[in-house]
């Protein structure tokens, strides 16, 4: 069965987006815009902990699409910087869940503000309705993908 033109276009668009999002230069630019000093390899984990925490390393590794041992080392770095702490998970006492600290929340807020400034440049010619439609449809697509394989 041949893929429809729309599915091919969607696939190519997603490949372009994933490629762009995975560029190290993008992370470096965001960190510079935020005016913070943080290794670009660990900042996505900080943001993941901020958004999904408390969270165990295995779950964080799955969300980040990285190897567990790598994420474990990087979470230890975040803890050493005072950006996260670890606590016993309420759901499973064998797991030490990562939780963002006040210092980590301050850094995450600076990154979010920088992301907003950079996105405003990209989206400056979009109407509010176009942006709302994009957000709604992307969320629906992500939710449907997640539900499909859960």
**What local confidence, expressed as pLDDT, does residue 126 receive?**
97
Please write the tens of the pLDDT for every residue from 10-32.
999 999 998 998 888 888 999 99
- Mean pLDDT rounded to a whole number for the chain: 92
**Residue 58 contacts by C-beta under 8 Å, 6 or more apart in sequence?**
68, 95
Beta-carbon count within 10 A of 8 CB: 11
User: Domains along the chain?
Assistant: 5-148 (1.10.10.10)
Section 116-143 average pLDDT: 96
* Average pLDDT over every residue of 130-140: 96
pLDDT score, position 90: 78
pLDDT beyond 80 at 149: no
Tokens matching residue 28: 């470096």
State the pLDDT at residue 1: 57
Residues 6+ apart with CB under 8 A from 145: none
* Alpha carbons 29 and 35: distance in angstroms, whole number: 10
pLDDT in tens, 31-56: 999 999 999 889 899 999 999 989 99
């Amino acid at each position: 069965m041949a893929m429809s033109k729309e599915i091919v276009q969607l696939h190519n668009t997603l490949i372009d987006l994933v490629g762009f999002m995975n560029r190290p230069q993008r992370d470096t630019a965001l960190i510079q815009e935020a005016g913070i000093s943080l290794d670009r390899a660990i900042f996505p984990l900080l943001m993941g902990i901020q958004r999904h925490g408390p969270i165990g390393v295995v779950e964080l590794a799955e969300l980040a699409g990285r190897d567990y041992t790598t994420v474990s080392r990087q979470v230890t770095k975040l803890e050493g910087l005072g950006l996260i702490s670890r606590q016993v998970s309420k759901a499973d006492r064998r797991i030490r869940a990562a939780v963002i600290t006040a210092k980590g929340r301050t850094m995450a807020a600076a990154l979010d503000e920088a992301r907003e400034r950079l996105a405003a440049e990209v989206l400056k010619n979009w109407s509010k309705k176009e942006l709302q439609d994009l957000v709604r449809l992307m969320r629906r697509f992500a939710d449907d993908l997640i539900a499909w394989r859960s």
